[in-house]
Structures are given as C-alpha cells and as structure tokens.
Structure 1
Amino acid sequence: MWSSSSVPCSSPRSRCSSTGSPASWSSWRRRRESDVSIRRLRALTLAGAATALLAAGCGLQSSSGAVLSAEPADIEHYDSLEGVPVTIVAKDFTEQLVLGNMVSTILDVAGADVTNMSNTPGSFGARQAMLDGDADISPEYTGTGWINYLGNDEPVKGEEEQWQAVLEADEPNGLVWLPPSPMNNTYAFAIREDKAEELGVEKFSDLLELPPEELTFCVESEFATRNDGFEPMLAAYDLTPGDLADVLTLDTGVVYTATAEGRCNFGEVFTTDGRIPGLDLRVLEDDRQFFPLYNLSMVVSADLLDEHPEIQEVLDQVSPLITNEVMLELNARVDSDGEDPAIVARDWLVEEGLVELP
C-alpha cells in the first residue's frame, strides 16, 4: 500500500475507502505477464540494446548499465530489499541521465538489485518500458504524463492539482506517480541578465510596457507551431505577432547561444537547462501561468510498490530536495563543465548526507 501526506482522504482526487483510510492498491493491481526471472532477462536485453546504441554514437555519454556504489547514510539499507530486482529507466538527455543515476544509486544503497537503464532513447521508449513491465521506476514529468502519454489537450492548473490528475488517470495502467518534487522543468523565456536589468523585466507581462523594437524573440520550430506554443502564449499576454519586431526560428540548442549573443532579447528555454546559468541568462516568470506544469515525479510500478512499500520511503527522502536551483546546478556541471552524470548525481547525494562514498 502506498502513502502520501500530500493527498488527504478528504481530497476529491484521493482514493479512499468509506472509512477514510487509503484504499489498497490490490484492487487495481495489474499482474506481470511473466515471472521475475523473465522480466529481468527482458530488462537486461533492453539495457544491452541501449548500450549498443550508445556505442554507435546515438545518445549522450553516460553510465548506462552501471550503478556507482555508495554506502548508507540518511538512506538506510533495508534487509527486505536485499536481492529484489529493480530496473530504473530514464531518457537520453542530461537531466534524465542525472536523475536516473541518482535513483539507481539510492536504491542500490537501500539494498535492491538495480539495473540502470538511463539513456533510453525518447520519452515513449521509457514509457513503453514501464507499461510493458520491463522497467519498475522512471523519473517523469507530470505535464508529460498528462499531455503526451495520456492524450489530454489542456493542462491542469496548479502543481498539486496537475499531479493528482495524472496520478488518478494512470492508475488503470498499474503505475503510481509519487508526490512531486518542487522542480518544474517547463517552457519559459529568458533574457541576458544585463539586458534584463537595462529593460527592467522580471516577468513576462513586463513586456507589455516595452517599446516594440525591444520585442525580438528566438524560438525553436516545434514551439512556433504547438497549440501550447508561441502564438497562444502571446495571446495569453495580450500580444500578437504583429506587435513584435522580429522572431527567429532556430534549432533548440542555438536558441540559448543566440539569446546570450544578443541576436534576440527573449529566447525560449526549459527552466532547468544547465546552459541558463552558464550563459548568464535570466528566466522570466510566467505570471499568467500559461505553460503546463512539468514537475518531477517518480513513477513506480504498482506491483512493486504493493510488495515493497519501503521503495517509496527511499524515494520520498530525495524528491523534496530536488528544486529548479538544484537541477540547474547539476545540469550545468554536465553541460558546461563536461562532468559525468553518474558522478554528478552521486556527489550531490553525498553533499546532502543521503549516502557516503565507499
């Protein structure tokens, strides 16, 4: 049985019995297609495929398939987890590599027999591994789950409300979204720090006070055409494309450097991208809350959580500590300083007193 202090039984989105206690997950548990040994074999096959892709140059360098060792500290060793197979799947970009290695290390310390599948190509590859039972835990984003995986068109306003909505909607798939982290890796616009001081802008609605010649933008091609993208965002702030001086459509990586170089004043970014501090950019507050919320949430197999609720105890020690500021720093160590994501993840766990070096 899972638990969360964030979902009281009085909440209309929580699942409670008539007595007000949390309902058992066994009422909707989805049994595995095969026994543990077959599942482990499939997981190892997928891990081998990911390693082959990496060797072929398809993806970022990471410690995929390996788990950096550490010793217990605030994260305790659980005898009940000794030898329990747990497969972690994470995607193939910097933040996910850091998070996947972070989760792999803490569960290894807690006693589980961990298979680390960080660097799995694409969101839907990671999602399918969870749905098929080839993976047990995935660091995910509430907005991704709600919009991309579950097919909803409109985001839910409010971090708690968005999480509760995706938690409830994914229950029939046998997946549990644990309480989210403060970290919200959503869309935003950023400006050079010195230019922000010159123009006096801190939030997006401040742009309404600027002269038209200062309204120059850099956006990626996909964002320019999304229904939660550029023109709908402008409309939410009472702007139209005709109000702008210039809009450059660029590749994602180029947007950051173009903004830092002054080719445009305002560049589309992701709020936890490690290039933001490295390029001395300021993220503007989305004060009208246009963009969907993408809070980090650990997604866990309901079967695993039902059998080993201590898994949530371990993950709940880490999730509340992961903020935008923390993730910006860790991502920057990889993207700007060239450090290995697995080492960055373990270093942070040590700094927080969660684990110790062996």
Structure 2
Amino acid sequence: MGAPTTPTSTTRRPARRRSALLGLPLAGVLALTACGGGDALSGGGSGGDASEGSGGGGAVTVGGATFTEMAVMEAMYAALLEDAGYDVTVTATDERATYADALLRGEVDVLPEYAASMADFLAGEPISTADIEGTMAAFEPVAEEQGLVLGEPAEASSDNAFYVTQEYSDAEGVTTLTQFGEAQSGPVEMAAGQECLDATQQPFCAAILESAYGITVGGVTGDGFGSITGKQKVADGQVPIGISGTTDATLADLGLVLLEDDQEVQPANNLVPVVNAESAEADPQLLETLNQLAPVLTTEDLADLNAQVDQERLLPEDVARDYLVEKGLVEG
C-alpha cells in the first residue's frame, strides 16, 4: 500500500451534532430512511468503517489542493459534513498526483475537484469536453474503474486561464492567447508548477498552449496554480505569463489581466465531489450530504468567495460557513 502522503496542512474539526436529514431534499431523506432502516445518525462512519446502509456521524477525511479556491471548497465540504454529524479532518497538498493517490489508497475519503482536470488526469489523456455533460459521461467510467464515485457537478466552473500584465496587454494590443503566441519569438517561461509541463497531469497547460496557440513553454517558476508568488513574478516582469483560474479575484489589483481563450480549447471544469468508492458504499449519506451544494453554488458565487479570502483577508473556514448559512445549507 505504500507510505501515507505527507500533507502540507491538516486540520481536525469536531463534529457538529445535528440531525443529518435537515437540509436534504425529500427524495434524499426517503432514500436515507430506506437504506438506513432507522435513525440516520446511527452506525459507523466513512472510509470503509461503517456497515452498508449506515448513516452519517463517523470520521471523514477531506483532501485537496492548497490554493484559495480549493481551501474554500474543502472548508465548505467540511462544514456540510460537520453539520450532518461527521468528525472531519481536512488535509491539503500542493500536487494533484499526491492527493489523488491518497484518495485512491483510501487515506482520503473525498476531494472537491475540477471535473475536466481530474478526468484527464485519471485517464492519462484528454477525455474531457467543452460541456459538463460530455465531460461527466467520459469521467464516470474512468472513475468507477479506479474505485471512485462522482457526486453531482455544480454550476460553478473555474477553467484554466492565462494572464499577463495589463501594461503589456495595452501596450502591445494583446488580449487573446492567439495574439500572445504570435508576439513570441521563442520559448517563454511561465508562472506555474512543474505539473504544467507534464501533459499526463495537465494536458490543458503547456501542451495545449503549444498545440492550439503555438506557444512553447520553455520552463516554469515552480509556483502553484494561481499562487500569489506566481502572480507577483508576472507583475514584476520576471516572467511574461502565468496560469490561474477564471474565478481569480486578485488579478486586477496586481495589474494583471486574463487573455481570452479565443480557440475555446479549455474544457468544462465544474466543481464536483470525488469520493473513494469504499467510503461511499459504506455510508451513502456522505455523497448525499455533499450533493446539496450542486444546485446552489455558481461561478459568480465562487469568484466572490475567493475575493473575500484573497482581498478581504477572511479565513476560508469563515467564508465557507457564512455562505452555507446564507444559502440555508447549514445551521448558523
């Protein structure tokens, strides 16, 4: 099985004891009652410790990446699960390969993930499409084969996007990736992590820039996706371009601007819960609880939540809980 992953950050969160049926749609309540055969809070927890059909209330580990948007999503998952009576640990690492491996091993029960990015990563090749229906249809059999179960995708989507300084864009008249590619005379260095150079991990980073736009990425700075250190290097002129997401709320304040994906090559990166199959089978309520977020969370909401953390300097945990309370998904 190998050694456990070493997280960048781990937070143990005590359970909030409350009826796990509150906030679920009626169909979900009926399904839980039928499966559980009694009190929805009776029985064990997730991670394969609970018997088939048991309710919530056990231990759950939420994993994922460390950048702002994922920290907010992890906090929302934790708050939803705590409100349903689970004892939640949040653990985050920098690289998808690390936290995906932890999920596959069962060291992590659930991840908030980007549908297209995770589908392509697990498949080892691009299988995602520009629409979420096509992406999920391609993703589901790959996930099942690897012992994972997918939740309902939210409307909220954060697609890969590439940024330059506003000064460069204005001076050179470069507003699209096609124009940026045409302006380059050789390879460029980009503010991005090492995985950007690996097409099996990030087919829509360096690989797609070269194939669709003729932009050759000759090297990366090693800064994480959407990181403030990477943005600062672009803002300071150390490198000409960086990668972030379309919901990044900090770019304008740093004098940065997104370039248009004018060839429309970036796939549908809606947020979706990805759950270890043993955890999901041991406790059906786990996925039911997380699926409450799907019809509520929008792309605009996600951008606003990011801004509260990055610009107003609020904690992801506080921002996430306030949002869920406002939407009626957890108790205040």
Q: When the two structures are superposed, what TM-score results if normalisation uses the length of structure 1?
A: 0.65
Written as runs of structure 1 = structure 2, the 5 A alignment for 1:54-65 is 59-60=8-9, 64-65=11-12
Structure 1 match to 2:49: none
Structure 1 match to 2:77: 103
**1:81·1:308 contact (CA, 8 Å) conserved in 2?**
no
**1:74·1:353 contact (CA, 8 Å) conserved in 2?**
no
Pairing partner for 1:75 from 23, 32, 43: 23
Q: Is structure 2 residue 99 aligned with structure 1 residue 150?
A: no
Structure 1 match to 2:321: 346
Comparing 95-104 with 290-299, which one deviates more in the overlay? Answer: 290-299
Structure 1 match to 2:234: 259
Structure 2 match to 1:236: 212
Local SS of the residue matching 2:8? coil
Residues 66, 337 of structure 1: alpha-carbon distance in 2 compared, 3 angstrom cutoff: same
Q: How far, CA to CA, are the matches of 2:78 and 2:207 in structure 1?
A: 40
Q: Is structure 2 residue 87 aligned with structure 1 residue 114?
A: yes
Q: How far, CA to CA, are the matches of 2:172 and 2:148 in structure 1?
A: 46
Comparing 95-104 with 120-129, which one deviates more in the overlay? Answer: 120-129
Residue 202 of structure 1: how far off its partner (Å): 4.9
Residue 157 of structure 1: how far off its partner (Å): 1.9
Structure 1 match to 2:32: none
**1:256·1:275 contact (CA, 8 Å) conserved in 2?**
no
Q: How far, CA to CA, are the matches of 2:138 and 2:308 in structure 1?
A: 34
Considering fraction of residues, name the structure with more helix: 1
**What amino acid is the match of 1:236?**
A
Structure 2 match to 1:283: 258
Q: Is structure 2 residue 39 aligned with structure 1 residue 66?
A: no
Residues 231, 219 of structure 1: alpha-carbon distance in 2 compared, 3 angstrom cutoff: farther
Written as runs of structure 1 = structure 2, the 5 A alignment for 1:220-235 is 220=192, 222=194, 225-227=197-199, 228=203, 229-230=205-206, 232-235=208-211
Pairing partner for 2:164 from 188, 191, 199: 191
**What amino acid is the match of 1:75?**
G
**1:350·1:356 contact (CA, 8 Å) conserved in 2?**
yes
Q: How far, CA to CA, are the matches of 1:70 and 1:336 in structure 2?
A: 33
Residue 233 of structure 1: how far off its partner (Å): 1.4
Residues 145, 250 of structure 1: alpha-carbon distance in 2 compared, 3 angstrom cutoff: closer
Unaligned runs of 5+ in 2: 30-38, 44-55
- When Rg is computed on C-alpha atoms for both structures, the one with the higher figure is 1
Local SS of the residue matching 1:356? coil
Residue 193 of structure 1: how far off its partner (Å): 4.7
Local SS of the residue matching 1:91? coil
Residue 288 of structure 1: how far off its partner (Å): 1.7
Q: How far, CA to CA, are the matches of 1:121 and 1:225 in structure 2?
A: 16
Residue 347 of structure 1: how far off its partner (Å): 1.7
Q: How far, CA to CA, are the matches of 1:281 and 1:141 in structure 2?
A: 24
Residue 317 of structure 1: how far off its partner (Å): 2.2
RMSD: 4.0
Pairing partner for 1:204 from 174, 177, 182: 177
Structure 2 match to 1:14: none
CA deviation map 1:247-279 (0-9, x unaligned): 885342443113334566643333344543542
Pairing partner for 2:290 from 315, 319, 330: 315
CA deviation map 1:6-49 (0-9, x unaligned): xxxxxxxxxxxxxxxxxxxxxxxxxxxxxxxxxxxxxxxx9xx9
Residues 318, 201 of structure 1: alpha-carbon distance in 2 compared, 3 angstrom cutoff: farther
**2:128·2:134 contact (CA, 8 Å) conserved in 1?**
yes
Residue 87 of structure 1: how far off its partner (Å): 0.9
